[in-house]
Amino acid sequence: MDSTLSLPLKGLKVLELATVLAGPAVGMFLAELGAKVIKIENLTTNGDVTRSWKLTTEDPNWAYSAYYCSVNWGKEILLMDLNQAQNLAWLQEQIKTTDIVLANFKPESARRMGLDYASLAKLNPQLIYGDITGYGSGDERPAFDMVLQAEAGFLYMTGEKNGAPVKMPVALIDLLAAHQLKEGILLALLQKEKTGLGTKVTVSLYDTALASLANQATNWLIAGKIPQRMGTLHPNIAPYGELLECNDGGQIVLAVGNDRQFQLLCKTLDLEDLAQTPQYSDNKQRVLNRQELFVQLQAKAGQFSREELLNKLHQMGVPAGAVRTMPEVFAESAAQELLLHWALPDGTEVRSVRSVVFELEQNPNE
């Protein structure tokens, strides 16, 4: 592939002053696209706090964590005390030749150190400043993904029916905020090409969380339906999210989105008559009668092994997938192709997953 396509941001300089997940995820995205990313971590706190977020299976003496490794590929990492005048002066000098700054300071802290957008834009009018906040400017409440999952309604509606609320197993609000900031920064780069001026791009975790509620928000806003905990089930579609257990203990999840797919499902399971039954004839009826439908589907699914049933469903064009563990996920060749093999500053070799998974292809007619 043409290097200008595989590394379209080569030549850009990024200073990453952000910590934890959202900001560093943006930094890694920019690094994967060719930008030079310099990550400045607070020396007085032994670096980014996620260095210490370790599993019990990790070496307690190691300077990093698996969590940290998930979003810090491809960066030049410097430990620095920015309260020291000479270090702050060095950083401010770097700003003059920097294209993008990533930050998640509290507003007062940024102003005190002269690292807010207004101060840095005086040093470099072309600077793009990516700023991540918890609840927006003026609200200095500490914001962690777990809290935002609760505040935005995700926690309330996640979990099994009649069970306790369950958090999502990744910090998805942080990751979605990172995507929002990436989009804003790319637009700011386009604007800079047109005007020669920089931009401040601000994203809050709270706004990101609300914007990501999608159909669950409109289920309430339009239909007056308060989303409830349903496990894997979909409130609008059936059988969608139903988990079928096979005779080898493996599980398959269904994602049947229309009547044609339901007919193919019934044919696969030798239940053609079911597709003609009035209470399952269309999606509305299947949602109303999903519990009775599940019993019949499960009875047939239990006659197959997971791989046998999954192959049959795929051959028929029925949307379904195996419920896989992490070892099973990364045993797949497609997953192996997304792995990054790299070394940390101490020389330790690690593996992580790429964040850039789109491809750019040159117009063949040029």
- Token pair belonging to 325: 């563990």
Radius of gyration for the alpha carbons in the chain, expressed in angstroms and rounded: 25
In the predicted model, is pLDDT for residue 217 greater than 70?
A: yes
Alpha-carbon gap, residue 260 to 318, rounded angstroms: 9
Q: What percent of the chain lies above the pLDDT cut of 90?
A: 91
pLDDT band per the 50, 70, 90 thresholds, residue 238:
very high
Q: Are 67 and 174 in contact, with CB atoms under 8 Å apart?
A: no
pLDDT band, residue 4 (cuts 50/70/90): low
The pTM of the whole model exceeds 0.85:
yes
Q: What angle do CA 277, 279, 280 make, to 5 degrees?
A: 70
The catalytic site residues sit at: 174
Whether residue 250 is predicted with pLDDT greater than 70 in this model: the reply is yes
Output the pLDDT for position 137: 82
Q: Which residue has the tokens 């020389």?
A: 347
Whether the predicted pLDDT of 44 surpasses 70: yes
Burial of 118 (0-12, 13-18, 19+ CB in 10 A): exposed
The count of other CB atoms within 10 Å of the CB of residue 354 is 13
Closest to 121 in 3D by CA, of 131, 133, 132, 134: 131
Residue-level pLDDT at 183? 97
User: In this predicted model, which residue has the larger pLDDT, 218 or 364?
Assistant: 218
Q: What is the mean pLDDT of residues 108-119?
A: 92
Domains and CATH numbers, the chain: 11-212 (3.40.50.10540), 240-323 (3.30.1540.10)
Angle of helix 306-316 relative to helix 259-268, nearest 10 degrees?
130
Q: How many CA atoms lie within 13 Å of 9's alpha carbon, on the beta-carbon side?
A: 22
pLDDT band at 3 (very low <50, low <70, confident <90, very high): low
Q: 306 and 246 in contact (C-beta within 8 Å)?
A: yes
Q: Peptide bond before 239: cis, by omega within 30 degrees of 0?
A: yes
pLDDT at position 328 over 50: yes
Residue 125, SS3 per DSSP: coil
DSSP string, 157-202: H-SSTTS-----SS-HHHHHHHHHHHHHHHHHHHHHHHHS--EEEE
Residue pLDDT, tens place only, 141-179: 888 999 999 999 999 999 999 999 999 999 999 999 999
The CA distance from 127 to 197, in Å, is: 7
Mean pLDDT (whole number) for 19-28: 97
Statement: residue 1 has pLDDT above 70: no
Residue of 51, 125, 119, 132 whose CA lies nearest to 91: 119
CA distances from 107 to 104, 133, 142 (A): 9, 9, 12
